Amino acid sequence: MTPADRVALLQSTMAAAYPARMVTRDLVEFDHRKKEDLAAGIYSIVSLGEGGYANHNGREGMDGTHRILLVGQVKLAEKTPPSQVEDAEFAMAEEVKALMRALPAGLCNLVMTGFEQSGQADAPYGWIAVKLEAKE
């Protein structure tokens, strides 16, 4: 599967699993998003490239690892306590974890290696950055 095919399949899989959320391949700053999309929550899928190829004779540029960043963005009401923004981030991370346990055959080699979050620094905005890898 090509990296382009993989991110497209991940996008359609996530959109089907979480229809209330916006799922896109375009990472855009908060202030360029629609308020209603941010309120619902947005997942952006970004390819970070490939590497770690086997490079055995005849297998050059093959059998590598595709790295993907899945960014979740959400905005809660003004004056929302930072801990509630953190809870919204946790909810998004749990959705991604649940998705990883139910991937379709074309994505079965995709693994979640970890996630980072805002650390309550941007309330009422929240974000997560989930690291994914697919080994060929």
Domain ranges of the chain: 3-135
Look at residue 24 and tell me whether its pLDDT is greater than 70: yes
Q: Strands of 125-135's sheet, edge to edge?
A: 22-24, 42-51, 65-75, 125-135, 110-117
CA distances in angstroms from 86 to 69, 92, 124, 130, listed in the order given: 19, 10, 10, 15
Fold designation for 3-135: STM4215-like (3.30.2000)
Give the HSE-up count for residue 69: Cα atoms under 13 Å, Cβ half-sphere. 13
- pTM (two decimals): 0.91
Look at residue 55 and tell me whether its pLDDT is greater than 80: no
> Residue 64 — pLDDT band, cuts 50, 70, 90?
confident
